[in-house]
């Protein structure tokens, strides 16, 4: 909605849009445990029925009694060059621009991920939100000895690890070296938990629009990109939700609600327009996207918050 559409009265136009919008449904919270399907996930940009396979939710080993469905088994050999990537995408919609969201998921890293071992690695992996990498590290299943963690600054050691050769073999991130501890290595895997609390890293992003593209990617820095029989990975329990303590855009009077009293305050500032105008309230609290103006872009954010009514 451009200002020219409302040249007669910006107040009247804004009010009309709010009345037309009414009380729409709340912005969705995305959640998928893959027990019923893959949902809106795509693989390398193409919607496909990714293979889902059973793994134990309790870390008891492959084919144990307690089974859970995962989005996997990614690891198909799509190329062995340095540019090789396996990309899984999810486009999340219904977001409120300027609002912070948390992404939580479980990541399974299975079999002979080699860290940065010469002649075998590197075995890299990242997670990004709208192109910003929140995780970018190297995984390895095995024993790095004294050189553990020297290669990558990102290390995530809160894992549930299963080894057919005993508990002395561990999974690592940020690993420089790798030592193979058994032929085939197919039974080894580590499960890394993100944004679940208890010391695990919390992954957040701020929505720049009403949708965001989330991307989980395995990529290679060498010519040793193993296929799914050798190196694989999988996702489970993917949840996108408002971050704890996130701001409540539109609650201009800070009473915990975005309601008619905030609407009156917003419209007063909307008709002033420029935050630099001396008549604008101090701090320009209705400039919801921080661009120095209270305009249509801010009104879109306000309408979304108004339809939510109660602050998170």
pLDDT tens digits for range 80-101: 444 557 788 999 987 877 788 8
> Which stretches of the chain are DSSP H helices?
10-21, 260-272, 296-308
Q: How far apart are the first and last CA of the chain?
A: 28
pLDDT tens digits for range 101-144: 889 898 888 777 777 766 666 778 899 999 999 988 887 766 54
**pLDDT (mean) for 230-249:** 73
Residue 62 gets the label, from left (phi > 0), alpha (psi -120 to 50) or beta, of beta
DSSP at 153: S
Strand partners, 129: 132, 214
Token representation of residue 249: 């855009």
pLDDT tens digits for range 290-303: 777 889 888 888 88
Highest mean pLDDT among 14-23, 78-87, 197-206: 197-206
Per-residue model confidence (pLDDT) at position 77: 47
Share of the chain above pLDDT 70, in %: 54
Q: Are 119 and 225 in contact (CB under 8 A)?
A: no
* In the chain, ranges of CATH 2.60.120 domains: 33-242
CATH code for the part of the protein at 33-242: 2.60.120
pLDDT higher at 39 or 184: 39
Picking from 57, 102, 270, 286, the residue whose alpha carbon sits closest to that of residue 195 is 102
Token representation of residue 213: 């593209």
* pTM of structure: 0.62
Please name the residues in contact with 53: beta carbons below 8 A apart, sequence gap of 6 or more.
69, 70, 72, 73, 234
Strand partners, 204: 102
Displacement of CA 45 from its chain's centroid (Å): 17
pLDDT tens digits for range 23-76: 333 344 699 888 788 888 887 655 555 555 555 444 444 444 555 677 876 655
């Amino acid at each position: 909605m451009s200002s020219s559409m409302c040249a007669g009265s910006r107040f009247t136009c804004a009010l009309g849009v709010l009345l037309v919008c009414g009380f729409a449904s709340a912005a969705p919270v995305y959640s998928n445990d893959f027990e019923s399907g893959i949902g809106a996930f795509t693989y390398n940009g193409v919607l496909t029925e990714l293979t889902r396979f059973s793994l134990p939710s309790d870390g008891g080993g492959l084919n144990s009694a307690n089974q859970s469905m995962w989005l996997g088994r990614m690891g198909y050999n799509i190329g062995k060059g340095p540019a090789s990537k396996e990309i899984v995408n999810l486009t999340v919609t219904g977001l409120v621009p300027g609002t912070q969201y948390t992404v939580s998921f479980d990541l399974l890293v299975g079999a002979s991920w080699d860290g940065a071992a010469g002649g075998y690695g590197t075995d890299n992996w990242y997670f990004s939100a709208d192109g910003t990498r929140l995780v970018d590290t190297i995984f390895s299943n095995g024993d790095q000895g004294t050189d553990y963690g020297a290669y990558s600054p990102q290390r995530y050691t809160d894992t549930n690890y299963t080894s057919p050769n005993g508990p002395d073999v561990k999974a690592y991130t940020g690993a420089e070296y790798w030592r193979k501890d058994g032929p085939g290595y197919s039974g080894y895997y580590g499960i890394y938990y993100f944004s679940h609390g208890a010391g695990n890293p919390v992954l957040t992003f701020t929505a720049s629009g009403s949708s965001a593209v989330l991307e989980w990617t395995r990529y290679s820095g060498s010519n040793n990109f193993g296929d799914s029989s050798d190196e694989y990975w999988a996702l489970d329990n993917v949840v996108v939700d408002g971050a704890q303590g996130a701001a409540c855009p539109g609650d201009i009077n800070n009473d915990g609600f975005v309601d008619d009293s905030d609407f009156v305050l917003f419209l007063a500032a909307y008709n002033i327009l420029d935050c630099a105008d001396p008549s604008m309230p101090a701090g320009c609290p209705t400039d919801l996207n921080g661009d120095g103006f209270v305009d249509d872009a801010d009104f879109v954010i306000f309408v979304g918050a108004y339809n939510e009514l109660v602050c998170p």
